[in-house]
Amino acid sequence: MLGLEFPEINEVIRWVDLWPTFNKIAIIAVAATVIGSSLFIIAGNRDPLQAPRGVRNLVEIIIEFIEGIIMETIGKDGLKWTPMMLSFFIFIYLCNVPGIIPIIYMPATARMAIPLFLAVLVWFIYNGVGFKEQKLGYLTHMLWPPGVPVAMKPLVGLIEFVSNILLRPFALAIRLFANMLAGHMLLVTFAILTEELVSSGNIFGIILGVLPFGMLMFITAFEVLVGFLQAYIFTILACVFIGSSMASHDEPAEAH
Amino acid sequence: MEATIGLVAAAATADDLKAANAAIGAGFAYGLAAIGPGIGIGYVAGKAIEAMARQPEAAGMVRTTMFLGIAFTEALALIGFVVFILLGL
């Protein structure tokens, strides 16, 4: 039986602590913040009366993209949330992208800390918005969509409570985390397989090594898409949650 | 990290047995968790393409909803993947 030794999970997703509690993940997260904000500060200092080009052009495209998401999910009332959603999108995207940049090769969102923190932040935001917009009516609106028969109220209330309060942030965090971790693990697996087959010194091994290498290239290209898509989905779901807290419930809340 | 292809010696202690069972369980956990969401995502995407082909001007709206549907469906498979990681590694 041929066995391939897979490195310990701790080895794949963790590095030496440079400082107590300050490791490579933290560096990537800080870099994402610095790059993202400096991009927007540079763009903001350009003359708004001239035709946009370069950095400002890029930034305007991203802002219009986010505004499009908000218009589709919350509506016109939600446009005041553009800066928040923009920060989410940029930060998550810049944390995802290092997963495919050579040498770094680690998406910062493949550790639970960052997705969990972002999801809890979204949880506080949409509950806060709900209480602000609908006062205490938010509680009843959250538990019972309009038109529920009285006999069904305990059951529906329980399901909606679990779905809205517990499952939403959990699923939001798990989605981002597991997607990035899965991509990272796939890259590691195929890289190890290629390395082993090529360095085995066997002629068949070298010929067979082309297959996992091709797969590695394909997954790297796929990760470019996934990194963007996960940032997009996180943003859109945050918008949907805020939208469902804002509306006085004409449509039933999105369930899991 | 030294990854090697070689003969794996068979020496079964209680811990080894536990690890082997966990590895088998992990494989099944992810495989079974992927079936339902796989069908579901295919269904969502297929229907979305159908809708877009019928009404290309609504493509943007359909795409947004499609991603939402995919995200909710995918969560189940991803929970299976997390269980796989927890059990298997």
Show the domain range for A141: 9-246
- Is residue A1 assigned to a domain? no
Which of the four pLDDT bands, split at 50, 70 and 90, describes residue B65? confident
Q: What is the pLDDT of residues A9-19, one digit of tens each?
A: 777 777 677 77
Residues in chain A: 256
- Report how far apart, in Å, the C-alpha atoms of B32 and of each of A177, A220, B38, B40, B71 are: 20, 26, 10, 14, 19
Q: What is the pLDDT of residues A41-83, one digit of tens each?
A: 999 888 888 888 888 999 999 999 999 999 988 888 889 999 9
Q: Could you tell me which of B85, B79, B81 has the C-alpha nearest to residue A9?
A: B85
pLDDT at A4: 67
Q: A239 Cβ partners below 8 Å, 6+ apart? A: A69, A70, A73, A74, A78, A81, A85
- Is A11 in Cβ contact with B1 (below 8 Å)? yes
Q: Could you tell me which of A194, A200, A236 has the C-alpha nearest to residue A219?
A: A194
- Is residue A153 assigned to a domain? yes
For B81, which of A1, A178, A200 is closest by C-beta distance? A178
Return the DSSP state at A46: S
- Is residue A19 assigned to a domain? yes
- Is A175 in Cβ contact with B68 (below 8 Å)? no
Question: What domains can be seen in chain B, in order of their start residue?
Answer: 14-88 (1.20.20.10)
Q: In this structure, are residues B44 and B63 in contact, taking their beta carbons and an 8 Å threshold? A: no
A125 φ/ψ angles, rounded to the nearest 5 degrees: -65, -50
- Is residue A255 assigned to a domain? no
ipTM of the complex: 0.70
- Is residue A3 assigned to a domain? no
Number of domains in chain A: 1
- Is residue A2 assigned to a domain? no
